[in-house]
Chain A
Amino acid sequence: MTRFVSILVASLLLIMSFGASALAKTPRVVLVVERLGDRSFADSAWAGMQRAQKELRGKVIAKVVEAPELTAAEEQMAAFAKDGWDLIITLGFGYVDTFKKLAPKYPNSKFLIIDAEIPGIPNVKSVLFREHEGSFLVGALAGLMTKTNNVGFIGGMDIPLIHRFQGGFEQGVKYVNPKAKIQSYYVGAWNDAAKGKELTSVEISRGADIIYAAAGGSGAGMIQAAQEKGKYGIGVDSDQCYLAPKNMIGSMVKRVDNAVFYTIFDLVNGKFKATTENLGIKEEGVGWCGLPPVSDKVALQHVPKDVVEKLAQIQKDIVSGKIKVEDWMTR
Chain B
Amino acid sequence: MIHLLSQVFDTQFLASAVRMTTPILLAAMGGLLCSLSGTLNVALEGLMLMGAFGAVAGSFYTGSWLAGVGLAVLLGTLTSVLLSVTIIKYKANELVVGLAVNLAALGATTFMMRTLWQVKGSFIDPRIAPLPSWRLPLIHHAPVLGKVLSGHTPVVYASWAVVLIINYVIYHTAFGLRLRATGENARAAETLGVRTKKLQYVAFILSGALSGLAGAQLSLGLVTLFLINMTAGRGFVAMVAVILGQRLVAGVAGASLLFGLAEGLTMRLQGLRIPPQFVLMLPYLITIITMVLLRPRHPRPVLPEEARKAALEETP
Contacts and interface: CB of A to CB of B under 8 A. Distances in A.
Interface of A: 1-2, 5, 35-39, 43, 158, 183-186, 188-189, 191-195, 197-199, 201-203, 205-206, 217, 220-221, 223-224, 243
20 contacts: A1-B100, A37-B120, A37-B228, A39-B121, A158-B277, A186-B270, A194-B222, A194-B232, A195-B20, A195-B232, A198-B16, A199-B270, A201-B16, A203-B271, A206-B7, A217-B228, A217-B230, A220-B124, A220-B223, A223-B124
B263 A191 contact: no
Among A37, A197, A221, residue most surrounded by chain B Cβ atoms (within 10 Å): A37
Given A186-B276, A202-B16, 14 more contacts: A1-B106, A186-B270, A188-B280, A191-B230, A192-B230, A194-B20, A194-B218, A201-B16, A202-B268, A217-B227, A217-B230, A220-B227, A221-B223, A223-B124
A8 to B, nearest CB: 12
B101 to A, nearest CB: 10
B223 A193 contact: yes
Task: Classify the interface of chain B: helix, strand, loop or mixed.
Answer: helix
B229 interface: yes
A189 B225 CA distance: 17
A38 to B, nearest CB: 5
A113 B266 CA distance: 35
Among B7, B12, B122, B277, residue most surrounded by chain A Cβ atoms (within 10 Å): B122
Interface of B: 7, 12, 16, 19-20, 100, 103-104, 106-107, 114, 119-122, 124, 218, 222-225, 227-230, 232, 263-264, 266-268, 270-271, 276-277, 280
Contact of A37 (B119, B222, B263, B280): B119
A184 B271 contact: yes
Nearest to B221: A194
Contacts of B229: 191
B271 A43 contact: no
A191 B277 CA distance: 18
List the 8 closest A-B pairs by CB distance, nearest first. Answer: A37-B120, A37-B121, A194-B222, A192-B232, A185-B270, A188-B280, A36-B120, A1-B103
A191 B124 contact: no
